[in-house]
Amino acid sequence: MRPPSQIRWQVPLALCFVLAACASVPAGERARDDPLEPLNRTVFDVNTALDDAFIKPAAKAYRAAVPAFVRDRIRSVIDNFAEPRIFVNDVLQGRFNAAGFTFARFFVNTIAGVGGLFDFAGTHGLARQSGDFGQTLYAWGAADGPYLVLPFFGPSNVRDAFGLGVDLVTTPPALLATGHSDKAASIVVGLVDGIDLRSRNIETLDEIKASSLDFYAHLKSIARQHRAAELREARGLEAAPPELVDPNAPVDEP
């Protein structure tokens, strides 16, 4: 499974996943599964409120005002920014085949794709790869640590939260930001990235929320399964996550 974007400048956006944390299981099991659940649920509620009040309306307005063709070009450019960071992490993980794909994608899309405006490489068999520093730490043997729901960025854990911090400062334009104008440009790119990704998941999240007995638990389950697929890739394994289901959904009787 290929993630929609490897750029971690997903400030409001990780509000696609921005909301998550634990299922209705026995207290002892729940404590082991999510020892910071009270704090996580509080952050989850704040993230959800921010999404309802600001992020989702902004995403809807963006989708209504910007034609789909233009939104796709914006998405392609932002994704192309992340390719150098993905390449470095693929190398650090020993995924040299994935690193080769990523290098070729960046070269082809920057030249033939007019600065990344078009995913020319993707249409010619060069699939986008995963690659972030949290994955790299996992490939090096780092444990997950406690489950965390981060403000704005959503579901994570101690290892991936640290990895996210590294990703934020190693993904252009953040990597190149030295003056005030460059830092402002980096923030703008991050905000546009977030709003664009949120706009692409409006209906999906609405459906998940409407069908969930516990929205927090369901999103935690989805985020973990999606992340498990990315971590399998970090070990060079085929990404084959189990079916994404609501852990609180009733079981159908035969």
CA 177 to chain centre: 22
pLDDT at 126 over 70: yes
Q: What is the mean pLDDT of the chain?
A: 83
148 three-state secondary structure = strand
Lowest average pLDDT, out of 74-88, 134-148, 166-180, goes to 166-180
What is the number of other CB atoms lying within 10 angstroms of the CB of residue 218? 23
Q: Which residue has the higher pLDDT, 88 or 169?
A: 88
Its pTM stands at 0.78
pLDDT at 203 over 90: yes
Q: What's the pLDDT score for residue 64? A: 97
174 three-state secondary structure = helix
pLDDT at 214 over 70: yes
Looking at the domain assignment, is residue 6 inside a domain? no
Nearest residue to 147 (alpha-carbon basis) of 55, 23, 21, 253: 21
Q: Who's near 220: CB < 8 A, 6+ residues apart?
A: 20, 21, 22, 23, 34, 147, 155
Q: In which domain, by residue range, is 49 found?
A: 13-234
- Size of the chain in residues: 254
Looking at the domain assignment, is residue 82 inside a domain? yes
Looking at the domain assignment, is residue 89 inside a domain? yes
Looking at the domain assignment, is residue 227 inside a domain? yes
Looking at the domain assignment, is residue 180 inside a domain? yes
124 three-state secondary structure = helix
17 three-state secondary structure = coil
The pair of three-digit structure tokens given for residue 91, joined into one six-digit string: 């190398």
CA distance 95 to 10: 25
The structural domain count of the chain equals 1
Looking at the domain assignment, is residue 253 inside a domain? no
Q: Are 47 and 55 in contact (CB under 8 A)?
A: no
Q: What's the pLDDT score for residue 183? A: 72
Query: pLDDT band at residue 94, thresholds of 50, 70 and 90?
Result: very high
130 three-state secondary structure = coil
Q: What's the pLDDT score for residue 52? A: 96
Beta bridge partners of 148: 156
Q: Which residue has the higher pLDDT, 110 or 5?
A: 110
pLDDT at 5 over 80: no
Looking at the domain assignment, is residue 250 inside a domain? no
Q: What's the pLDDT score for residue 208? A: 92
The DSSP call for residue 217 is H
Looking at the domain assignment, is residue 7 inside a domain? no
